[in-house]
Amino acid sequence: MYYIIDIIEIYIIFIMVLIYSIMEPISFFLSPTLVSHKQYEALRMYFVENRPAHEVAAHFGYTYRAFTSLIFSFRDKLSSDITGSFFFVENRPGRRISSGTKQIKSLIIEMRKKYYSVPDIKVVLDGLGYSISEKHIFNIVSGEGFSRLPRRSRLVRQQLENVQIAAEKSYPLTFDPEVFKSSNAGILMFLGLIKRYKIDTVIDKSNYPATTLIGKTPSILSFLALKLSNRRRYSSDDTWCMDRGMGLFAGLNVLPKTAWYTSYSDRVTSEMNRKFLKQLHRVWMKAGLLEDTSNLDFTTIPYWGDDSHLQNNWSGKRGKALSSMLAVLAHDPDSGLIDYGNTNILQKDESAVVLEFLDFYHSNNTKKNDKLRYIVFDSRFTNYENLKKLDQAGINFITIRRRGKLMLNRISNLPASGWKKARVECAGNKHRTLRVYDEQVLLKGYDKDIRQITITGNGKIKPAVIITNDFDLTIEKIIRKYARRWIVEKSISEQISFFHLNMVSSSMVIKVDFDLTMSILAHNLYRLLALELERYSNLSIQSLYDKFVLNGADIIINENTITIQLKKKRNLPLILEVMQKFSRQKFSWLNNKKVIFEGASYS
């Protein structure tokens, strides 16, 4: 009996469990707990089972008005998304991808397709205000199937195909604590030299204009940043206006865009440039960087627009005469600085340029600090009448005479007894033996005797004929002084190739005289850096840039300091040693912060 009762109880329990297991799925649909599920079942009952709206609303606990609003919203969403995905959301594991992340990812992929490296992409994203690590960029690039880029030369990297990116507008930095990356941080090494020689004060006292948002000093430093960073074609690689390290050089978030440079240049006059060069001249004189000799030479700057207002000048660079502007440079052979430049020269005024330079030089000096004793130039620079004026002004000149047929015949008939041997110092502590003939001759237009030194054995087909009004200096020193004039030709070549002076492919339209002034300042800063490097003082500007200035860095802005962590490089120890000299300086355009250079842990 008891056995039968137990079996019945067990059977009842089984039936109840079975009913409960059957009822639970039904209650899941009829009594939903999730909001989206509840809405789905209510709408299904209304549209599929054709139940009245007031009845469905009462069943699921809605007010009639609330349920009719739900119906209207559902119809509206369904018209734009027929799949109904707003009810069925698939949860994927991992970090959620926002619309901003998708935009960054597409930008990274676009730049990688143009062969930008991960550090280059990081620099651009920092300039656009995106906070993303190199590791994350690498993961995105790897996830899209891109392989590692091969090692490329600097020139190849600068010629990368441009990516159309809207860079941020330039504005003065707030200098809030932050960290960012730069691929051109090496130009920040020049900040110490600018402060030491008070070039920032010269800029501040100049007549150069300021803009509404960007002051006078940041404006000039923006031009200087492009010159120092070897930007030959400003428009072909405009990622420089996204490099925050280059912007920091001028105290800005990023450098201005191309149109700003053209607009600013239009406001600069020749008188502003001349006054600026005069102020720089005083700086070089006070620092003892100008000695007793100046080398002068012409260069032509071609013009490819409407050239009806220009004259044809001979261009040695292109081996022909073309429509151009004629410019002159004055170069100190000892320090390597360029002291003077002028582009407003007409052919009829060529001969008077040497006198204009003399006026420029003397207007900046008193007799007490006036060091100029020698001016050296080639045969076509001026005429004999102006040589006479130099002599009357107490200036010694060294130049070369043109060698016509009569001159060559006269040299061939000079008595053999008058020829002497001169051992002249050459580069690398070497010497060369030359045959020289020292005499005094009378020149028409000069109206008095002048010293003439004829030189043979110098490797040229024709002999060289030097004339000077210095009768006391030895032959060897006169030849040496004139030979060093060729240094100014080398400087002109550097101006053309490195500082964009003579390159016509740029779409950034800058006034030539202003461009020359900025090139002169950039050239002098490189020479000052070379003097700090001692053993490397004779390197060309291109070599200085490649060995020392071309470098990337992590830049850390703190409360009182700006730390530049330069990448590993062969000459990094020497750079850090030199930069240590400027570690106590504070920079007004950098919120009076100190700039500290360190070595990064990677290359």
- 557: pLDDT strictly greater than 60: yes
The rounded mean pLDDT for the chain is 82
The whole-number pLDDT of residue 129 equals 72
Residues 466-477, mean pLDDT to the nearest whole number = 91
Q: Which residues pair with 374 in a beta bridge?
A: 293, 396
Residue 319 zone, left/alpha/beta (φ > 0; ψ -120 to 50; rest) = left
The whole-number pLDDT of residue 243 equals 86
Output DSSP code: residue 488.
Answer: H
Distances (CA, A) of 514 to 84, 275, 279: 64, 12, 15
What length is written for the chain? 603
- 440: pLDDT strictly greater than 60: yes
Task: Single out the residue of 528, 518, 529 nearest to residue 223, CA to CA.
Answer: 518
| Residue 130: pLDDT band with limits 50, 70, 90 | confident
The whole-number pLDDT of residue 277 equals 95
The whole-number pLDDT of residue 315 equals 62
Place of tokens 């000069």: 446
| Residue 307: pLDDT band with limits 50, 70, 90 | low
Instruction: Identify which has the larger pLDDT, 390 or 100.
Output: 390
AA identity, residue 444: K
| Residue 120: pLDDT band with limits 50, 70, 90 | confident
The whole-number pLDDT of residue 216 equals 95
Output DSSP code: residue 242.
Answer: G
- 462: pLDDT strictly greater than 70: yes
| Residue 268: pLDDT band with limits 50, 70, 90 | very high
The whole-number pLDDT of residue 589 equals 94
Task: Single out the residue of 274, 267, 240, 233 nearest to residue 255, CA to CA.
Answer: 240
Output DSSP code: residue 166.
Answer: -
Alpha carbon of residue 289 to chain centroid = 26
**Using CA atoms, how far apart are residues 310 and 347, in angstroms rounded to an integer?**
10
The whole-number pLDDT of residue 103 equals 74
- pLDDT tens sequence across 223-249: 999 889 887 655 444 667 788 999 999
Residues 387-400, mean pLDDT to the nearest whole number = 91
The whole-number pLDDT of residue 1 equals 47
- 203: pLDDT strictly greater than 80: yes
3-state secondary structure of 597: strand
- Whether the CB-CB separation of 230 and 498 falls below 8 Å is answered with yes
Count other Cβ atoms within 10 Å, centred on residue 438.
17
Instruction: Identify which has the larger pLDDT, 158 or 111.
Output: 111
> Tokens standing for 13?
């329990």
- pLDDT tens sequence across 351-363: 888 999 999 998 8
- pLDDT tens sequence across 132-174: 888 888 888 888 788 888 877 766 665 565 565 666 788 999 9
- pLDDT tens sequence across 56-104: 888 888 898 888 888 888 888 877 776 666 666 655 665 565 555 677 8
- 308: pLDDT strictly greater than 90: no
Residues 553-567, mean pLDDT to the nearest whole number = 93
The whole-number pLDDT of residue 235 equals 46
